[in-house]
Structure formats: structure tokens, C-alpha cells
């Protein structure tokens, strides 16, 4: 069992950093919060919604409408342009194409990549690709952003620029975000730092952290 008897509550608008050794369970916790995996015990709530009990179709719709994902590997579709990649979550949702394109262009402009909208991923730098990923994550106006080492494959200067952009986006969109990182300096710029160790979850730098070990515990995201 990777994670054992943890209890976590995240407030609306909060930025939480998750740190820990490789293999400690950081990505697993992120997947659980995002509804990509189901807990073997306990429950996960988003507000009053028990996410861990949703049927597959309901869970997919919840992810599409509520969660924005940003991964270390960009997972852009190489045959599509930056604009088309950003449109994809909206098209899957059933948004009319014109409306999806308008929203995607707005998000690309917001991440500083509007002029590169017609380029495919192979024609973009690493930093530009990650900006497309951010735009794609924001396209559906999510209430929660989950980020797994979003600067891990970038050089220091580019990584700093991407994190600064994330701070701007967090301030303007006021979403809740959970950020997995190995960088203590980046983690220190979040509201709260939590460390996963030995299957448990521990506050590192904030007395407001509400973590404890209780049998059958669950996790909650602020709505």
C-alpha cells in the first residue's frame, strides 16, 4: 500500500505543494485527487460530491469539467496544432467548435503563446509546449489544477518563467492547485507544503496544515 490512512483537506483557492522521495506516492495522491485512480479504502470528496463513488461516465465528466491536469511530460498530440490541442477537452465535452476555438485562443493568449497557435508540438520549444499544456488545462475553466512536476523537464530559467506564469494564472483564475515537486524553493512559494513519507502525509512548513492518520480516512478538495 503506497498511501496509508491519510486525511487531507484542501481549502478553495489554496496552493498546496507535495514533496517527498521518488516513489513515495506523490503522483498516486495526485491521481486519486483527480479521479484517475480509486482508493482501495476511504473516500475522496469534492465539496459534497463523493468523487470516489462516481460511476465511470460521471467520473470522466467530473474530470473534464472540474479538474485541469498538467504533467511533467506534455502529452500533446503531435499531429494537431497548439490551438487544436487546447480545444480538445472542450470538443470532448461537446462544446460547439467555434466556441471551443474562441476559448482556446483566449487561453493561448493568456499563456503568451497566441502567435504560435498554428504550430504543432514538434515545432515548439519545451517551454512553449508546457505553455500549451497550461492553456489546455485552463480551457475548460477548471476549479482545481493538479500539477505533477510541471517544470521538471525544463532548464532553470524556463522553469522559473513557467512557475511565475502559474502564480499569475492562480491569482487571476482563483482555482485551487496541488503541485508535486522535488524543488523546495518552488514548494516554498505555495501556501502549504506537505511531505509524503512512509505512506503518511505530514505538514512541513505551515501550522495550518490539517493532516492526521485515521483508519478509513479520506481526502477532500475545496469546492
pLDDT > 90 fraction of the chain, expressed in percent and rounded: 53
| Grid coordinates given for 45 | 470528496
Give the tens place of pLDDT for each residue, 141-173. 999 999 998 888 788 888 888 888 888 888 888
How much is the pTM?
0.84
Q: What is the mean pLDDT of residues 184-212?
A: 76
Torsion angle, alpha carbons of 49, 53, 59, 65, to 10: 10
Query: How far is it, in rounded angstroms, from Cα 133 to Cα 194?
Result: 25
113, 133 contact by CB (below 8 A): no
**Cell 480516512 sits on residue:** 217
Query: How far is it, in rounded angstroms, from Cα 202 to Cα 89?
Result: 34
Query: How far is it, in rounded angstroms, from Cα 87 to Cα 144?
Result: 19
Q: What pLDDT was estimated at residue 210?
A: 37
Give the tens place of pLDDT for each residue, 58-111. 999 999 899 999 987 778 999 999 999 999 999 999 999 999 999 999 999 999
Q: What pLDDT was estimated at residue 211?
A: 39
Domains contained in the chain, CATH given = 6-76+143-221 (3.40.50.300)
Amino acid at each position: 500500500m503506497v498511501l496509508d490512512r491519510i486525511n487531507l483537506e484542501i481549502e478553495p483557492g489554496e496552493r498546496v505543494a507535495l514533496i517527498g522521495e521518488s516513489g513515495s506516492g506523490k503522483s498516486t495522491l495526485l491521481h486519486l485527487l483527480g479521479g484517475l485512480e480509486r482508493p482501495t479504502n476511504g473516500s475522496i470528496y469534492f465539496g459534497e460530491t463523493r468523487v470516489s463513488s462516481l460511476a465511470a461516465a460521471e467520473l470522466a465528466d467530473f474530470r473534464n469539467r472540474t479538474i485541469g491536469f498538467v504533467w511533467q511530460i506534455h502529452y500533446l498530440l503531435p499531429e494537431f496544432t497548439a490551438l487544436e490541442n487546447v480545444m480538445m477537452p472542450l470538443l470532448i465535452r461537446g462544446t460547439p467548435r467555434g466556441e471551443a476555438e474562441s476559448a482556446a485562443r483566449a487561453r493561448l493568449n493568456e499563456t503568451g503563446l497566441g502567435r504560435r497557435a498554428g504550430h504543432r508540438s514538434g515545432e515548439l520549444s519545451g517551454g512553449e509546449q508546457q505553455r500549451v499544456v497550461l492553456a489546455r488545462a485552463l480551457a475548460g475553466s477548471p476549479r482545481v489544477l493538479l500539477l505533477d512536476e510541471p517544470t521538471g523537464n525544463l532548464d532553470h530559467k524556463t522553469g522559473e518563467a513557467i512557475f511565475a506564469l502559474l502564480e499569475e494564472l492562480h491569482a487571476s483564475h482563483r482555482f485551487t492547485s496541488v503541485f508535486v515537486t522535488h524543488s523546495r524553493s518552488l514548494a516554498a512559494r505555495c501556501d502549504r507544503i506537505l511531505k509524503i513519507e512512509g505512506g503518511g502525509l505530514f505538514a512541513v512548513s505551515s501550522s495550518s496544515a490539517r493532516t492526521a492518520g485515521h483508519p478509513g480516512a479520506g481526502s477532500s478538495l475545496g469546492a
